[in-house]
Amino acid sequence: MGIADNYSRGRRLLVERPGQALAAVVGVLLVLALFADLAAKLGSGALGVGDVVLLAWRGVVNGLVIGLAGVGLSMTYSILNFANFAHGDYITGGAFVGWAVAWLVAGLGEYDIGSLLSLGLGADVYAPQLGTSIFGAPLALLLGLVAAGVGAIAIALLIDKLVYEPMRGQDGIALLIASIGVAFILRYLIVFVWGTSVTSVADEAGGLRPTVGGVTFSFGYHELTLVVCAVVLMVGVHVLLQRTKLGKAMRAMSDNQDLARVTGIPTERVIKWTWIIGAGLAGVAGYLLILEAGTIAYSRGWILLLLIFAAVILGGIGSVYGAIFGGLVIGLADSMSIIWIPSDFTKAAAFALMILILLFRPSGLFAGRTTA
Amino acid sequence: MSVRDYLDRLTGTGRADTDAGAPGDGAAGTDLGIVVGLMLAVYVVFVAIGVVLGYDTNGIVNALSQVTFLTAVYALVVLALNLHWGYTGLFNIGVAGFMAVGTYTMAMATAAPDARVPGLGLPIWAGIALGMAAAAVIGLVAALPALRLRADYLAIVTIALAEIIRLTYLSSAVQTFTVFGTQLGTGGGSGIGIEADPDTVVVEFLASVPGLNVLFDAFGSVLSGMGVQQSVINNWYYAFVLLVVVVAYYWLLQRIGHSPFGRVLKSIREDEDVARALGKNTRLFKIKSFMVGCSLMGLAGILWFGSYGFINPNTFLPQVTFFVWIALIIGGAGSNTGGVVGAAMFAAVLFELPRYLASIAGDTGGLPSAPPTFARAVGALFDLEPLAFVAYGIDNIGPLRLVLVGVVLIVLMQRRPEGLLGHRKETAASIGLSRPNRSRETTDATAATDGGEEQ
């Protein structure tokens, strides 16, 4: 594309959509102003380089969790054509199943099975006794990771069978409302079994503390584990969707379901695979989130859900890369906006960002690149 | 065969059919019957359960007042939401946020200037007016850009906005602040007290009205003679007042729904492009409908949460919105009577009945003590002690009740997405389609000229 093309495209944008062009200009100016302010704060010593790196690192870690969970939400949104409000509870469900298995494996033979599966709710066994860190019980944690994925997949497939399959023909709003019902059922069954308390399930693992140029950085081992797992899974999803027929079938279905069916794509099987990939990633994301945070609670996934929606919308619904990119942006915005605004408003800032994207660019930043 | 005959045969109605087709008119009698019958049935069930299981009179009367209160406040919000979703097709899941704006504004306006959280010290009616206005303004702010979005995007925007509102009230930055030299505050996470709470004010006002106070005294002495505490009697007074407000809401929304304005709203719900093609400025209609609904939600929030005398941001969690939605869906979107029925079904059957049963079971005893964890309860099952498991379930009736709510919602969406009373025949034409009688014809003619009016 030549400069002339670019120029005429820009001109057309200015003429046809002055509002959007103005919003874009304001957005760019705002980002520049924020960076100038950041530079000034760094220069005046109000903020250290180490602090900024720490915030950015926290943003990346949270962003990867959001992105990983967002891939599934984005896929179901574009293929089944509804906003799944139960997605956050698939995350929580996977996390609880995964951690129950991790505790069971870590403490089998030494402690009562019921106490282990209750995740210490009866106050008779604690995380430090089991040593549930990646060094203390690597095998238990690995099995827990697998169980989290498998558990979330089982939940999602069962719910698809019972709830969504009989409703295939209905519109997105009906499915959305049904998904709110699913969210209630999952969340409060979890409360029924594990209660509402915030319990500590992962043991401390420490971290790397390199010093570069007189500034000490801190990277927790559990955070690093999360980053490695998330990146590996994202690459895996990329390969799966790009190199296999399944990926092509998914893209076809998100474009036009009826057309996909008449060309011989087994749509029901593709839907099952969508749930398997999406819920599996959600469960693993929940498990890793708990590993990194240390504590588990029934509302963890639900609280994260709006941020995941923000990420998915930012990246463009249906776009897997968009979800990952959106997750990173939302994660960074959530953690780094504390530099400029009071900490009470960081989440509100992320939601506001989502609302602005919905208003000015509802197709997202990666518009038109569905499920790729 | 005339068209009239054909229609009669199609709908199976004879010529003697008295329903002139003027919407709402013919059905009004049966609608009232449905609601009153349902409420009476609920009361009978609660009293029967209480008497059979040997619950004391005060407990039963208290439970009934709770049911009435919850039914009334849910009915208020559901009716307001029905204007958004049932009539205009606006998928608003930020109801809790709009209620928060109304209630908080009222609380901040009426709080005394020297209270823990300082306020403007205005009288309650000014607080209520300000609260409704503030909710309408926030509704306008949300509506201006968002109403052109797809339904599911509007849903996400409204729920995000509700969370932004809640997080703002939660923030310590606005715990107390100063505007034009006046100290104001939201109280942040520790909440704000409402000294002039609606139920105290309303009950005190009614007790001071000559004539009414005699009635009140008679009612109170009968109940207290049955061993009912004064606080429960006061709850009943407030519940009665709320029922009157429900009737007012119902009347207002019926009027809106059947006015030319309401017909345009319904046409937007069915097909916005058609409404636009007919020359209606649908954007303006949607904004008006949204603002009216939001201010009604604000008032409902004041009457509901304001009556507790204390609010904090976590009073307005998103699940409040979902409860209201479930009540609307049970009753049937698009039907005001359905909204009231749904509110009663939700508040009485899904919300209060399980709690009532559990509290009776807890009071009357006979069950072993509940195991501390689910795993222990399952262990008790293996030890052939099913009663211990039941006791665990009763101890945790709160979450189980919400699981039931989810199941009901899903079954409804699968089997009966139009709800109990939704999708009833609603004549869109301003003139009746069945044979009109003489007196009706004149009123219909005026309605027709209204309908042709430029909007």
pLDDT exceeds cutoff 90 at A96: yes
Residue B163 with chain A: CB contacts under 8 Å: 306, 347-348, 351
Cross-chain CB nearest to B403 (options A166, A184, A344): A184
- Residue ranges of the alpha helices (H) in B53-123? 57-81, 95-110
Residue A121 with chain B: CB contacts under 8 Å: 372-375
State how far residue A362 is from chain B, nearest Cα, in angstroms: 8
What 3 state SS string does B11-70 have?
HCCCCCCCCCCCCCCCCHHHHHHHHHHHHHHHHHHHHHHHHHCCCCHHHHHHHHHHHHHH
Q: Strand pairing partners for B179? A: B182
State how far residue B86 is from chain A, nearest Cα, in angstroms: 13
Environment class of B51 (CB within 10 Å of its CB; exposed 0-12, middle 13-18, buried 19+): exposed
Asked if A309 lies within 8 A of B167 by C-beta distance, the reply is no
Cross-chain CB nearest to B173 (options A176, A313, A344): A344
Asked if B149 lies within 8 A of A313 by C-beta distance, the reply is no
Cross-chain CB nearest to B151 (options A173, A184, A193): A173
Sign of CA dihedral B201, B206, B208, B209: positive
Residue of A nearest to B154 (CA): A358
Alpha-carbon gap, residue A313 to A74, rounded angstroms: 8
B-facing residues of A in 277-306 (CB < 8 A) are 306
The whole-number average pLDDT for the span B343-348 is 90
Residue B173 with chain A: CB contacts under 8 Å: 342, 344-345
Alpha-carbon gap, residue B77 to B303, rounded angstroms: 10
- Residue ranges of the alpha helices (H) in B82-197? 95-110, 124-146, 151-170
Asked if A182 lies within 8 A of B410 by C-beta distance, the reply is yes
**Class of domain B26-363 (CATH, top level):** mainly alpha
Mutate to test the interface with B, among A97, A192, A312, A314 (most CBs of B within 10 A): A192
Asked if A83 lies within 8 A of B373 by C-beta distance, the reply is no
Mutate to test the interface with B, among A84, A173, A361 (most CBs of B within 10 A): A173
B-facing residues of A in 21-80 (CB < 8 A) are none
Both tokens of A19, joined, read 């509002």
Alpha-carbon gap, residue B426 to B428, rounded angstroms: 6
DSSP B225-260: HTT--HHHHHHHHHHHHHHHHHHHHHHHHHHHHHSH
Per-residue pLDDT band for A272 (boundaries 50, 70, 90) equals very high
For tokens 């120029």, the residue is A7
State how far residue A72 is from chain B, nearest Cα, in angstroms: 17
Asked if B406 lies within 8 A of A177 by C-beta distance, the reply is no
Mutate to test the interface with B, among A188, A303, A363 (most CBs of B within 10 A): A188
User: Which range (A68-72, B170-174, B307-311) has the least confidence?
Assistant: B170-174
What DSSP designation does B434 have? S
* Contact of A334 with A352, CB cutoff 8 Å: no
For tokens 């919003």, the residue is A23
The whole-number average pLDDT for the span A63-86 is 90
Amino acid identity of residue B122, one-letter, is: L
Nearest to A369 by CA among A305, A332, A324, A331: A324
What 3 state SS string does chain A have?
CCHHHHHHHHHHHHHHCHHHHHHHHHHHHHHHHHHHHHHHHHHHCCCCHHHHHHHHHHHHHHHHHHHHHHHHHHHHHHHCCCCCCCHHHHHHHHHHHHHHHHHHHHHECCECHHHHHCCCCCCCCCHHHHCCCCCCCHHHHHHHHHHHHHHHHHHHHHHHHHHHHHHCCCCHHHHHHHHHHHHHHHHHHHHHHHCCCCEECCCCCCEECCEECCEECCEEHHHHHHHHHHHHHHHHHHHHHHHCHHHHHHHHHHHCHHHHHHCCCCHHHHHHHHHHHHHHHHHHHHHHHHHHHCEECCCHHHHHHHHHHHHHHHHCCCCHHHHHHHHHHHHHHHHHHHHCCCHHHHHHHHHHHHHHHHHHCCCCCCCCCCCC
Q: What was the pLDDT predicted at B331?
A: 86
Q: What is the ipTM of this complex?
A: 0.85
State how far residue A180 is from chain B, nearest Cα, in angstroms: 7
C-alpha pair distances (Å), A147 with each of A101, A152, A236:
7, 8, 18
Residue of A nearest to B401 (CA): A188
Cross-chain CB nearest to B156 (options A121, A173, A309): A309
Asked if A114 lies within 8 A of B145 by C-beta distance, the reply is no
A230 at the B interface (CB within 8 A)?
Answer: no
Cross-chain CB nearest to B160 (options A83, A187, A306): A306
A187 at the B interface (CB within 8 A)?
Answer: yes
Amino acid identity of residue A129, one-letter, is: Q
Q: What was the pLDDT predicted at A97?
A: 94
State how far residue B167 is from chain A, nearest Cα, in angstroms: 7
* Contact of B379 with B114, CB cutoff 8 Å: no
Higher pLDDT, B447 or A227: A227
Alpha-carbon gap, residue A70 to A75, rounded angstroms: 8
- pLDDT digit string (tens) for A31-59? 888 888 888 877 777 777 778 888 888 89
* Contact of B300 with B73, CB cutoff 8 Å: yes
Q: What was the pLDDT predicted at A159?
A: 94
State how far residue B161 is from chain A, nearest Cα, in angstroms: 8
Per-residue pLDDT band for B446 (boundaries 50, 70, 90) equals very low
Name the percent of chain B lying above pLDDT 70: 85
- pLDDT digit string (tens) for A98-147? 999 998 888 887 888 878 888 877 777 787 777 777 787 888 889 999 99
User: Which range (A9-23, A278-292, B173-187, B235-249) has the least confidence?
Assistant: A9-23
> What pTM value is reported for the model?
0.84
Cross-chain CB nearest to A178 (options B152, B167, B410): B410
Angle (CA) B197 B198 B200, round 5°: 70
Higher pLDDT, B64 or A37: B64
DSSP-based three-state secondary structure for B350: helix
- Where exactly are the structural domains of chain B? 26-363
Residue A344 with chain B: CB contacts under 8 Å: 167, 170-173
Asked if A188 lies within 8 A of B399 by C-beta distance, the reply is yes
Size of interface A-B (CB pairs under 8 A): 144
The radius of gyration computed from the CA coordinates of chain A, to the nearest angstrom, equals 22
Q: How many whole angstroms from its chain centre is CA B350?
A: 15
pLDDT exceeds cutoff 90 at B77: yes
Cross-chain CB nearest to B152 (options A113, A173, A344): A173
Name the percent of chain A lying above pLDDT 70: 93
Per-residue pLDDT band for A28 (boundaries 50, 70, 90) equals confident
A20 at the B interface (CB within 8 A)?
Answer: no
Alpha-carbon gap, residue B183 to A186, rounded angstroms: 44
DSSP-based three-state secondary structure for B439: helix
Asked if B375 lies within 8 A of A114 by C-beta distance, the reply is yes
Asked if A167 lies within 8 A of B413 by C-beta distance, the reply is yes
User: Which range (A10-24, A217-231, A350-364, B297-311) has the least confidence?
Assistant: A10-24
Which residues, in sequence order, are CB contacts of B239 under 8 Å at separation 6+? Answer: B65, B68, B69, B72
Asked if A163 lies within 8 A of B414 by C-beta distance, the reply is yes
Residue A195 with chain B: CB contacts under 8 Å: 373
Asked if A345 lies within 8 A of B322 by C-beta distance, the reply is no
Asked if B149 lies within 8 A of A189 by C-beta distance, the reply is no
State how far residue B392 is from chain A, nearest Cα, in angstroms: 9
- pLDDT digit string (tens) for A153-194? 999 999 999 999 888 888 888 899 999 999 999 999 999 988
Strands B310-311 and B192-193: antiparallel
Q: What was the pLDDT predicted at B436?
A: 57
Residue A363 with chain B: CB contacts under 8 Å: none
pLDDT exceeds cutoff 90 at B300: yes
